Every structure is written in C-alpha cells, then in structure tokens.
Structure 1
Amino acid sequence: MKKFIGSSMSEAMKQIRAELGSEAVILNSREVVTGGFLGLFKKRTIEVIAAVDPKSTQQQIPTTKQKKIITPITEKSEWKPQPVPQDIQPIEPKPSSDVIKEISELKSLMKTMSVQNNGFSPAYPAAVQIMQKRLNDQEIDSSIQESILSSLLEKWYIAGANASIDKVYTWLEQELINRLNDIPFGGVSFSKKYINVVGPTGVGKTTTLAKIAAECVINYKKRVAFITTDTYRIAAIEQLKTYAKILNIPLEVCYTIEEFKKATEAFMDYDLVLIDTAGRNFRNKQYVEDLKKVIDFDKDIETLLVLSLTAKQRDMEDIYEQFSAIGIDKFIFTKADETSTYGAMYNMINKYNKGVAYMTNGQNVPDDMIAANPHALAKTIIGVENNERSS
C-alpha cells in the first residue's frame, strides 16, 4: 500500500502502474490544494492511495540478478551445510522516517474509512480484518479496538505487509495483554484477613465463596471461617452451612454490626475470614447502605464485586457505580460457560482500572474456577481455548 501524488489522475495512474504494476487497486483518492497567495496561484494535485498484493508484484517484477546455476543432486553426490561464521549477526530491518510517516498517514486513513463504514474498515489488510471481526464479535469498546488495530496495522507494514494469520493473532494477544500490565490480577493473596464478596442477586456469590474457601483450605492449608450477612434468604444460609460442614469451616450469621464485630473477635486466630452478603436489587441504593450497617469496612478487608458475564455491560456499569460507595478492589466474573462473548469483562477492567481475582465457568466446587491473569483473559477473548483461530 502506498500514496502517490500527481498533477492529474492520469499522471498518478502512470506512477502507480510503473511502481505497483497493472494489478494495483485504488483504495482512495482526493484533490489537494496547496500554496496560493490572496486566493491566487493555488496548486491543485491529486493524492491517490493504491495497494497491491505483494505476491503478485513479485511475480510481475523482472529481476536483473544473474541466474544461479543449479547442479542436480545425484545419488552419489553429498550436500553439506556450510557453517555460519560466529561473528556474523542477522540484521533486523528498521523502518525509515519516511516509512513511519507513511504508516501514520495510512492509519489515519483507515480510521476515517472505518468511521464511514460503521466501524468496519474494508481497507485493512485481510489478516487485520480478521482481528477486527474478532474484536467486534467480542463487543470490545470501539476506542479500545481503534488503538489495538492501529498497532496491528503498524506491525503489519513494518513486517513487510506479509505475516501469517497465526502471527497476527500473536500480535493481537500481546496487545490485549499490554493494556493490562499495570492492573493487579490474581486470587486471594492473604495480604488482607477479610474478604468481602458483594454483588446483585443471581450471580453466584455463595457458590463462588465456597470455591475460594475450598481453594484456601485444600491448596494452601489455611484456617478459614465464614461470616454471612445474607439474612434475607434462608436458603442462602443453609447452602453456606452445607459448604461449611463439608470443609469443616465455622460459620457465624450476623444481623447487626455488633454481631459482626463479635464474629471477627471469635475468628481472631483464623488466617482468612470470607464474608457472604445478600443478593439484592442493585438499583436500590438502600442495599448498599444496609451493608454499611452490618459490615465494619474499617477492618483489614478486601471487597470483591461479583458480576455475571451473561449480563449487559450497561448493567455491569450500573452495578459497579452502586457498589463503588463501599470501595471495590477487584472483580470476580462468573458464568463464563454460559456465554461466548467476553468483551464486557475487558471493557470493565479498562474503564475502572480494576483487576480480576477469579473467573468461574460452572457450579462444581472447588473446581470450575481459575485465578485470573492477563494471559488467560486475552486467550479467552481471542478464542484460543475455543479453537476459533481457524474460523
């Protein structure tokens, strides 16, 4: 892909045919006016963006190099590879300032054409278009897409406009990871004694809490206790009692902040105390106020907000805004097995600069849960786990 400037379209076409050959395709053209004084003596030129498949140009362009004489190998002949001198190092090609400038102009053009085509740019190279479709299908925010595709386009041309699909997928994965490098990820670190799990109804808070408890007891050999403030649903208390009995974990039910303080005193010698809260309508601000009346947030506490990946992103944002009054440290995303679209998770992390503690993908305790990290998140989004690279 290259930009040509001529005094007329016919002159620009001559340049294109001479340099790119007859297989070149016109992507965009416009009239450019430069110079002038008091409205006079303006110079009008035609600017044309043209492109050609590098493979087809290699077939068309004649070579002036002397042909190599190839001696056929007979059964008796032997071929031995010649050793490469140790002091010779491969030279990595570096883009010149002109190339960098042209890439910048092309990226700007792609952005304009993408806006004109409702977010999808047919002018991207085929491999980059595949990445754009993947990001679109995953519902990644347009601003994030624009930044990622811009970087992919730059890598594409610096690589000589010829890279495999697998290579471009690798670039995409790295771009997704790079944007998460400064955000904390991972499960329970035991830096805080109290883990408070909050969220709306139906997202799987109690089951997730049991998975975390099982991980800490079985894998880390920690002494763990439960506190539940979910006094609105008897079934929730019974469910947590069942998990507590299986894991041999003590449980305290707290209705007031005084009872909560007594429970924390009773569990003073434990390594970790996991706090379950009631699932209520997240649009009701009184719910958050009720939490403050039962849980002492001045304690050495970490709060994890549980969100279901089956929810709309707008609802996720409303939930976060509602619970931000008590302070959110990390997300837990549940029901990854009930959807094939994970972009909202990535968007929430970037928008609020909050990491992820865990991702869950089923009801089995203690299985069906992984401690989150940027690599796992990126692979989930680009579809590596679903073998979608070939699609």
Structure 2
Amino acid sequence: MSQLDAAPGRAAFKAPGLEALKNYLQRSGWSLEDVDGRTSLWRPADGVADRVIRIVLPAQQNVRDYSERAYEALEALSFVERRLPQEIVNDILFGGADNVAVRLTPDVPPGEAPLNLAHSAISALKNYVVAAAAALDSDSLVLPPRRPQRAEAYAAQARISTQPGSFILSLALPLDDVYSTETDDSVPPGQESLVQVPPQPFGRKVTNRMLAAARKAQGLAEHVSEGNLPLSSFGEHSPGAPNATELAALSSLGGVDHGTYQVRFAKTPLAGGATLPAFLRITPGQQRILGEAADYLRTKQSRAGVTVTGLVVRLFREGKYGRGEAVVQGVSDDSGEPRRYRVELGETDYNEAFRAHGNGLLVTVTGDLDIRGTRRSIRRITSFSVLPGPEDE
C-alpha cells in the first residue's frame, strides 16, 4: 500500500487553521527560515534527505487562496513524512495521532467492499486496539473477559475513515487518552496536545504494541507454516508475544475468506522518534494459522478472572470438617461452553456447596482458570456464592 494509493483530491480537502498548521510545523521539527508581511517560509528538520523542500504559508488565514496554500503545505509534509495529507490533518486535529491503515483486496470495483468483509474488518480493528491497549497492563496470553476500562475508553477515542482508490480503512489513534489529557479552555480546539506532548504518550505505546504484536504474530505464523515450529509456540511468553484477542483480530481483518490484506503503521513526529511507515502483508495462510493460534490459546492457556456458573455435581473432603473439593458443571463467561471445573473450597464455602448440591441450586465461582490437559480447575478463588432458588424469592 503506497502513500499515493489513497491520495484525496483538493475538492474533498478541509484546510486546518493557520495557527494549528504553524504549531504542527514547529512541533514536528520544521524551522522558520524567513518571514515578511505576506508570507512565512519554513524548512524541514536536519534529518530530511531532500533539504531543498520548503513550505510557504500566508501571513493571514483570511487570504483568498489560503486553502490552496495549506494543501500545498500538506503535500510537502506528506512527501517528507510518507503519510497521506488527510492523515496529517487528523494528526493536527487530534493534537497528535498515529495512523494504522488496512488495505483490503476484495474482488470488487475499487473503493467498494462486501458488507460482511467491511463489518469483519472494522470489528477486528476495534478488538485489535482494545487488546493492544489492554496488553500494556497485562502480559497474559489470554485477556480476562472484562477488558480494562482505559483500553475500552481509548478505543472509543480512535476515529476510522475510508480512503478512495483501493478499499482502505484508516484508523487515527490519538497520542493522549482521556486518562492523561487535561483540557485547557484557553487553547483553541484541536491544538491542546500540540502544546505539550509527553515523551511516550499512551497512544504511542498502543501503536508500538500493535506493530510489535503483528510482526511477532506474522513471524510465528510463517515458522509454523514452514514446519519449523509447532502451533504451541504461540503459547510461549516472549517480548511482544501476541495475545489471543490480537491474534483473532489479525486473523479476522481479511474476512471469513481470509483475503490478503496489507497494514501500514505511520507514526506522528509529534511524539518524537518518528520513522518511515512500517508495512506488513498478511496472507490467507498466515491468517488461518493466527486464527488457530487464538483458539489454541483460549482452550489451552490458563487465564485470570473467569466466572463459572453451574451445578455442583461432585463433592469430596477427607473428614467431616475442613477444606474440600467440589466439581461444578457449568458455563464459563469466556467460552460459553458447558464443562466441568474442579474447585478447592474452604470449610464455609464447602458447606455452602454441599447445601447447593442437596437442593439443586446453582453456584457461581470466580477465580483463575488453570488447564492441565483435559482437566480444568478454578484456583485463587475471589468469590463463591449460591444463587437463590425459587423458594428463596
């Protein structure tokens, strides 16, 4: 997916404000070279290879050709940063935003996609963002059913758009999230974070995680495909190891038919450390392996915060008093499938389980799910209770 795949025309262009544009130039390393009563002349940062590039902006925004001059400035920025003009506009409006763009390849006219493919890709992108944000606080290969509130809130801040040409989904990921941004009413909208961007904002961490997880997942999928590694290698903890939700998202981006897709990660220079965009091409075979890996992790890996609701079908303890073991047959909140779970209970909870078993009452238990072969156990229990029956209501 090249930079020009989805270049928008000027007719659809909405120019950012002059002050916001100048603020962006300053924050992204451009220097003011000359200024007079009519224009200002800007040169790029020292690291730019083509040093003859210049940007000319009018001194006032109310000039007749301001929109054209702004578009020309964005075209120059687009060439230097290898990003689309609209991505830079989103960057300015967000006060700093990385971009993740996915190019789908359905066998339909350019700019179109089957509804089921578009729905699958958009849902997968949301899950991808949430899973990457959640992974910043959890190194578990299977995330708990309830995602961290910050991860969900951050995904809600992201903005998705489509680009003409090929069918491209463009996702703007703001650098700051609602947990770290303090709004200053004295700063015009869209310029808040341009004033002060932390060295490693939350959004950049999410982008870095998404890229690292995708690279790791693709590499493992290629090794599994070639027979160099077993599928169980996805279950090994290592830096950047993708979790099951990230794997499922990467598998679903190509739709149920696993059509080839390309993904590009482009970082804003406002957070420092800006590099050329990174490109990945995920093949149908890789997507199928990623989906199998997600299923493998969810069925074979232990995970925290699982709740099981069901009937007590077996009880055992060595004496009349003390701790004991119960077997609960029921459904967990993360799989939805009926299974049997062994639960070690203290004396009080064991007596409650005995009462539930004798009266046919449902129980609910929450703890960490441990899987050893076909045996499933709930350990480190955080809650156990008997649900009231009809006679208790």
Would you say same fold, with TM above 0.5?
no
- The TM-score range, normalised by the shorter chain, is under 0.3
Q: Which protein is richer in strand relative to its size?
A: 2
Larger radius of gyration between Structure 1 and Structure 2: 1
With structure 1 as the length reference, what TM-score do the two structures score?
0.22
